[in-house]
Structure 1
Amino acid sequence: MTKQPNYRKIYEDVLKFKFPEKTPYCQSILKKEKLSTLDVVKINAIIFSKKNENTFAQNQKHKSYDLPTILEILDYQKKHKLNNSQVAKNFKLSRNTVAKWKNMFLVQQSKKEI
């Protein structure tokens, strides 16, 4: 079992000490009982909204998603009837990553059902 950082506490402190004006925009996310990986990505985008191309490229290299988040992204794709490119653009991913996830998780699930 791996321990995860307490993102709620981290972001509450960041909002309190550095960006108090952005607190109202983040309250709906911080009120959740458990923050998902997508919640962390959303709140990070709200707080640190300035787009520095170099920083953005560095951060993209270090993103990782857990299984529930991947399945949530794939469910979003199915619910909104989007293709891989549209989902990738929406979540700032590579379309190849989306295709790989679909192959790994959706094809595996259908094989288990058979």
Structure 2
Amino acid sequence: MRIIDTQTKPDYNRIYQDILDRKYPHKKEECRTLLEKKELSLLDIIQLNDKIFGTKNTETEAFNQQHRSYDRQTIFEILDYQKKNKLNNSQLAHHFKLSRNTVAKWKKMFF
């Protein structure tokens, strides 16, 4: 699990807009509210990805999960979600498809 620098982000808004224009024009309306945001958070990107491509087989999903990176803003959003919904580390990890150890590590690093 890596924490990424926010300065090196690709323009996800443009990338997903192009994907929708070329391959999935019928899903444009469903994703419009997320794409209208000026800046997409990593949680928005994950949500867009799920809406456009749907769920994959578990083997591919597990492989992709190992290569995700989160910036500080997203980590704080995830931890705020935990606080607002009164979830324990296991429940939060299951909801966001993370490791319980990752959640514990973030809490130790930032709180």
TM-score normalised by length of structure 2: 0.90
Q: Residues 67-109 of structure 1: CA distance to partner in whole angstroms, max 9, x if unpaired?
A: 0100110011001111011111111111111111111111xxx
Q: How many corresponding residue pairs?
A: 106
1:32-71 aligned within 5 A: 32-71=37-76
CA–CA distance in 2 between the matches of 1:66 and 1:5? 13
Which 5+ residue runs of structure 1 have no aligned equivalent? 107-114
CA–CA distance in 2 between the matches of 1:70 and 1:50? 23
CA–CA distance in 2 between the matches of 1:99 and 1:66? 16
Structural RMSD (CA): 1.2
CA–CA distance in 1 between the matches of 2:55 and 2:72? 29
Identity between Structure 1 and Structure 2 (%): 57
Identify which of 24, 27, 42 aligns with 1:22: 27
CA–CA distance in 2 between the matches of 1:73 and 1:53? 23
Which residue in the other structure is 1:112 paired with? none
CA–CA distance in 2 between the matches of 1:90 and 1:28? 22
Greater radius of gyration (CA): 1
Read off the aligned partner of 1:77 and give its amino acid letter.
Q
Identify which of 2, 6, 9 aligns with 1:4: 9
